[in-house]
Structure 1
Amino acid sequence: MELRAVVFDLDGVIIDTEEVWEQVRRGYVAEHGREFLPDTQSRMMGMSTGEWSTHLSAEVGVPRTPEQVAADVLARMAERYRTDLPLIPGSVAAVRRIAERFPVALASSSARVLIDQVLRTAGLAGTFRVTLSTEEVPRGKPAPDVYLAAVERLGLAPEACAAVEDSSNGLRSAAAAGLRVIAVPHGVYPPAADALALADLVVTGLDELTVEAVEKLG
C-alpha cells in the first residue's frame, strides 16, 4: 500500500531528552531518599505520565502520590525545555522536509504540556496535523494505542502510515499498531535487538530520513 502519512515520536527522535529525563527523575528520587531500581530507566522509556509516576511512587518508593510525582517532575522538565531545548541535529529540518510531502503526526510518551512547549520552542507549532500524548490513550508504549489513535485521527489505515522511532518500546508500539517502522537508534539508549528487528528501515541519522527513503517503504 502506498504510504500516505508519517508519524513521529518526540523524545529521542526530535529532542535528545532521555538523558534529561533520567537526570531530572534520578535527582527527584534522590531528594526523597530513594534510588532507581536496576530496571527503572529502561522500563520508564515509553511509559505514559500516569505509568511512570505510579512506578516512582509505588515501586521506587517516593513518598508522594503518583499525581504529585507527575506534577513535580513535569514542572521541572517544562522549565528545562523553556530555557534549553536539546534539539537533535537535523530534526526540525527532517520534520519540515517530510511534512512538505506527507501529512505528519506526533505520537509521544511525553505529557501534553511538554509536547506543546517543545513545539513552540522548536518552531514546529502547526506543522503536525495531529499530536497525541500517551496520557490521552488507555495505555502507553509498547502498547499500540497512541499510534492507532494517531492514524485514526489522520483518517488513514495503519498500513498506509510510517512511524519514526528510536526506543525499544516505541518500535514495539508502532509495529504492534501495524505501521511501517523507521528506526533511528539512539546512541546512548539503543533499542534492544529484538525491537530493532521490527523495523522496515534503519537510518543512522535524521539526514537519511528523506522523502525518497520514506516513499520506498510503500
Structure 2
Amino acid sequence: MAKEGMATHGMAIEAVVFDLDGVIIDTEEVWEEVRRGYVAEYDREFLPDTQDRMMGMSTPEWSGHLAHDVGVPRTPEQVAADVLNRMAERYRTSLPLIEGSVATVRRLGERFPLALASSSARLLIDQVLETAGLTDAFQVTLSTEEVPRGKPAPDVYLTACEKLGFAPAVCAAVEDSSNGLRAAGAAGLAVIAVPHGVYPPAADALALASLVVTKVSELTPERVAGIRAE
C-alpha cells in the first residue's frame, strides 16, 4: 500500500518499470550456482547471508562482497569479469525465460511506456533482451552499474522514471526480490510483487506491494492501471 501521507490514491499509472532477473528471466538459481562454484574454486564459502545480500546488488557491490567479505583472492574488478563471463556463457547456451514474461512485456507495452531497471551488468541486459527478442520493447534500460547505488537504494528506479519522463508516483515497478521491492518502494513507485518461489521476499519488503501476483503472466494493462485509481 502507499505510505501514509503520500497523495497517491486516485493517481492512474502511466508507465511501468520492470526488473529483469526473477521477473523476465529466472536466473537467481543460476547466479547462485555460478557464484558458489566460483567461490569454491578458491576454497571459500558463502557467508550465511551472502545470497540474500547479493540479490539486487550492483556488479561492483556483489563483486566487492565476494572479494572483501567472502575472501576470494582477486580484485573486485577481476571477480566481476570472471563471474560475468560465466553468466554470459550460460545465457548463450540457455536463456531461462519465465513462462509468459515476454508476452506480458509486450501486452503492457501496448498501453504503457516501459523501462527496465536491473541489477545485472549492461553486458547481460543487452544479451538477454537480444535473445528474448525484447530489444525494442523498452524505451529505457538501466543497470545499477550506471547509477551511484544498487538496490535497495532507490537510485535505479528514480533514474529510470526520470529518463522515461514520468514522476515516480505515476509509475509502477514489477519486482520479485526483497531489495528490489525496497528500492521501488523507496523511490515512490507503485510496487507490484511477483514473489520468487525459491527466494521469496522478506515480509517487510512484500508489505510495500500494492499488488501481489503469483505469476508475471497475471498482469494485464487493466490491473496495472487500476493500482492507485481507487
Which TM-score tier does this pair reach, normalised by the shorter chain? over 0.9
Ranges in structure 1 where 5+ consecutive residues have no aligned partner: none
Q: Following TM superposition, where does structure 1 have runs of at least 4 consecutive aligned residues deviating by more than 4 angstroms? A: none
Residue 90 of structure 2 is matched in structure 1 by 80
* TM-score (ref. length: structure 2): 0.94
Read off the aligned partner of 2:56 and give its amino acid letter: G
How far apart, in 2, do the equivalents of 1:58 and 1:66 lie? Answer: 8
Secondary structure of the equivalent of 1:217?
coil
Matched, 1:200 2:230: no
Q: Which of the residues 91, 95, 102 maps onto 2:112?
A: 102
Matched, 1:58 2:68: yes
Deviation for aligned residue 1:187: 0.2
- Kindly report the root-mean-square deviation, in angstroms, between the aligned alpha carbons of the 2 structures: 0.5
Residue 22 of structure 1 is matched in structure 2 by 32
How far apart, in 2, do the equivalents of 1:93 and 1:32 lie? Answer: 41
Tell me, yes or no, if the aligned pair for 2:12 and 2:226 is still in contact at 8 Å. Answer: no
How far apart, in 1, do the equivalents of 2:211 and 2:108 lie? Answer: 16
Read off the aligned partner of 1:45 and give its amino acid letter: M
Q: Which of the residues 77, 85, 92 maps onto 2:102?
A: 92
Read off the aligned partner of 2:178 and give its amino acid letter: S
Ranges in structure 2 where 5+ consecutive residues have no aligned partner: 1-10
Secondary structure of the equivalent of 1:163?
strand
Deviation for aligned residue 1:9: 0.2
Deviation for aligned residue 1:217: 1.1
Which deviations, in whole Å up to 9, do the C-alpha atoms of 1:39-82 show, x marking residues without a partner? Answer: 00000000000000000000000000000000000000011011
Read off the aligned partner of 1:32 and give its amino acid letter: Y
How far apart, in 2, do the equivalents of 1:27 and 1:208 lie? Answer: 35
Q: Which of the residues 148, 151, 155 maps onto 2:158?
A: 148
Deviation for aligned residue 1:207: 2.2
Read off the aligned partner of 1:22 and give its amino acid letter: E
How far apart, in 2, do the equivalents of 1:2 and 1:191 lie? Answer: 26
Tell me, yes or no, if the aligned pair for 2:177 and 2:200 is still in contact at 8 Å. Answer: yes
Secondary structure of the equivalent of 1:58?
helix
Which deviations, in whole Å up to 9, do the C-alpha atoms of 1:125-176 show, x marking residues without a partner? Answer: 1110000000000000000000000000001100010000000000000000
How far apart, in 1, do the equivalents of 2:66 and 2:21 lie? Answer: 20
> Sequence identity, in percent?
80
Deviation for aligned residue 1:206: 1.6
Matched, 1:175 2:185: yes
How far apart, in 2, do the equivalents of 1:193 and 1:33 lie? Answer: 34
Secondary structure of the equivalent of 1:142?
coil
Which deviations, in whole Å up to 9, do the C-alpha atoms of 1:186-213 show, x marking residues without a partner? Answer: 0000000110000000011122111110
> Aligned residue pairs: how many?
218
How far apart, in 1, do the equivalents of 2:213 and 2:45 lie? Answer: 35
